[in-house]
Amino acid sequence: MKTSGKAFSAIGRALVILAIAAIYIVPFYWMLLTSIKSQGDVLVFPPTFWVAQPRWENFGEALSAFPFLRYLLNSVIVSVAIILCQCLTVIPAAYAFARFSFKGQKALFAIALASMMIPAQLVFLPVFLMESRLGMINSYASLILPSATSAFGIFMLRQTFKQVPEEVIEAARLDKTSEFKIMIKIMLPIAKPTIATLALFTFISTWNDYFWPLVLTTDDRVRTLPLGVASLKMAENGIAYHTMMAGNLIIIIPILIVFLFAQRQVVKAFTYMGKK
């Protein structure tokens, strides 16, 4: 009795594992396959699952469909700049909210939290108008400034700073260490994991951001990769799925590689967050 029960659950478990793997791996395999097919091979029904002659030109065509290197550079510049700005604005703010008490503190913190509920889709029109009037459109600043801080980051980091035991700080203060040194030598090292996690999240969301670049750029100068991928859709001679998937692959592979290597770090980051 017990053994058949165990066998059932083992088979059941195996089936679920297969199902999950299928749901998550097949789409990628399909994308890979499509990216090396020719247009004729793609638009057939029933579809084929193997390619006799891979069409490597698809990748060249995808890369020349938009200014790939320029967009890549822009993505790097914008992402790194935003991470730096966030560090510069979030760390002092979180520290202040965590370790000082000042008038209006609660209200100001509540305002910061409330701003987390305000998505880009709501404020893009006024921001576009504001930046247009200042002639900022199509500059790096136009993409960096709206994301120069992170209310979520302030919230998380404040938690972390609050967890530093009061005694440690007291001891340092008794030693007549300056507030600034306290921050650098004690608080920052403790906060490093949280800051690293936040930086990682910011990088992922900024690198992949489609909406802000879509509405804030009118030409190629500061456009980022997601817009480049999106432009692959434009084709009048039948939907160019093969080029689209090839371009998609080129964009995805770097971040997947980073992810594969950083996997441990990412899981750690989540465990950290889960421990709120």
Residue corresponding to tokens 């594969």: 260
Residues 211-230 within binding reach of other proteins (CB under 8 A):
211, 214-215, 218-220, 225-226, 229-230
The reply to whether omega before 46 is within 30° of 0 (cis) is: yes
Q: Which is nearer to other proteins, 77 or 145 (CB)?
A: 145
Mark the segment that binds other proteins (CB under 8 A) among 129-137, 159-167, 169-177, 190-198. Answer: 129-137
Residue 154 binding other proteins, by CB under 8 A: yes
Residue 8 binding other proteins, by CB under 8 A: no
The DSSP call for residue 106 is H
Contact with other proteins (CB under 8 A) among 10, 120, 176, 265? 120
Residue 199 binding other proteins, by CB under 8 A: no
Residues 53-72 within binding reach of other proteins (CB under 8 A):
none
Residue 208 binding other proteins, by CB under 8 A: yes
Q: Where are the beta strands (DSSP E) in 58-152?
A: none
Residue 263 binding other proteins, by CB under 8 A: yes
Q: Which is nearer to other proteins, 154 or 198 (CB)?
A: 154
Provide the CA 58 distance to its chain's centre, in angstroms.
27
Residue in 85, 1, 50, 71 with CA at minimum distance from that of residue 231: 71
Contact with other proteins (CB under 8 A) among 47, 84, 110, 261? 47
Q: What are phi and psi of 125, to 5 degrees?
A: -65, -55
Q: Shortest gap between Cβ of 189 and other proteins (angstroms)?
A: 19
> Could you tell me the two tokens for 209?
């951001």
Contact with other proteins (CB under 8 A) among 137, 182, 191, 246? 137
Residue 50 binding other proteins, by CB under 8 A: no
Residue 9 binding other proteins, by CB under 8 A: no
Q: How far apart are the first and last CA of the chain?
A: 44
Mark the segment that binds other proteins (CB under 8 A) among 2-10, 164-172, 189-197, 203-211. Answer: 203-211
Q: What are phi and psi of 91, to 5 degrees?
A: -60, -50
**Separation between Cα atoms, residue 210 and residue 259, nearest integer Å:** 20
Q: Shortest gap between Cβ of 168 and other proteins (angstroms)?
A: 20
CA distances from residue 79 to 61, 100, 144 in whole angstroms, order as listed: 26, 31, 8
Length of the chain: 276
